[in-house]
Amino acid sequence: MKIISLFCGCGGMDLGLVKAGHKIIYANDNDKDSIETYKKYFTKKFKISPSHVHLNDVKKEKIKDIPNGDVIVGGFPCQGFSIANTFRKDKRSMERKNNDLYLEMIRIIKGKKPKYFIAENVPGILSLGGYKDKDAKKRKMGRIFTSILSDFQNIGYKVKWQILNAAEFGVPQSRRRVIILGTRKDIKKDFIHPQPTHSIEDDLFLKKTPTLWDAINDLEKIKLGDKKILNHDGSKHKVKFNGYIGNRVTKKNKVSPTIVGRGGGTGGPVIIAHPNGKRRLTVRETARLQAFPDDMFFCGPVSSGYRQIGNAVAWPVAFALGKILKSLN
């Protein structure tokens, strides 16, 4: 199917969809480093035309300038919705910068009328705005999330949502994300969520999810900064274990905690500690925990590399979604 990708970032979602056999016909983001990363990798690896990749504020994109596609995907910016953001409980949260960008996604879906859409966000979005009553709390339907789903339904789509954990799709990281799927109301075959392929625990029917150490142990023999491994350098900030995100003990025999794009109110990236407790993970090690391939170079300064990876969708999740889409074609 032909994919229109909004808020594409460095391309985590798109990588999974392309690997599943779909074609990116339009990609947009307003972050320069992310778009440079995207262009360098996707134009070379998958022969996507550079003219299909746009560095621009989505609010400035005109409907007529976007090609017609079968599917629109978008992980609308989630910093204001994330538990990692200390401002999340602010009563003005819906007024904060970027939190209304889902409306731009709705504007474009309404204008292009694709068969399907995928919207991705953090679990923190579920409780935003509080709950109307006990039943809404039990169903994890906060006021703002309920409003977002209604907005998608009101433009002509059947909507389903579910929390998917990337670890259940072979990613060596616990990464829970809300995945909203939309099917245009005149389409008979509904877009549904994929079933897990992996398990953190031993399971007779599922593959075992690789651990953090499975993902990065071969890099131990390579000197930090060695140009033979792309982006194998990182933060010089000292490790201090205090229980907060980025300052928690990591264990070799477990999956990684969630990689985040930022934290606190300062906008700086939060980098997970290496299991040896002596340093933080490099950009490449962090990329490994998101399942990004080693030949994908993250452009910009080190802090930007961390941020691009932390804001991305783990591509194996997108691949599983892409396989479902292929079955609907």
pLDDT digits (tens, 9 = 90+) for 28-49: 999 999 999 999 999 999 999 9
Looking at residue 99, what is its pLDDT?
Answer: 60
Whether residue 3 contacts residue 71, with contact meaning beta carbons closer than 8 Å, is answered with yes
Looking at residue 264, what is its pLDDT?
Answer: 42
Q: Enter the tokens of residue 180.
A: 């909203």
Report the alpha-carbon distance of residue 278 to residue 129 in Å, rounded. 40
Give me the CATH code for the 2-200+313-328 domain, please. Answer: 3.40.50.150
Whether residue 116 contacts residue 70, with contact meaning beta carbons closer than 8 Å, is answered with yes
Give the residue numbers marked as catalytic: 78
Q: List, for residues 296-310, the tens digit of each pLDDT value.
A: 999 999 999 999 999
Q: Is the pLDDT of residue 93 over 70?
A: no
Looking at residue 276, what is its pLDDT?
Answer: 92
Q: Enter the tokens of residue 235.
A: 């933060």
Q: Is the pLDDT of residue 88 over 60?
A: no
DSSP 93: G
Using CB atoms within 10 Å of the CB of residue 167, give its burial: 0 to 12 exposed, 13 to 18 middle, 19+ buried. Answer: buried
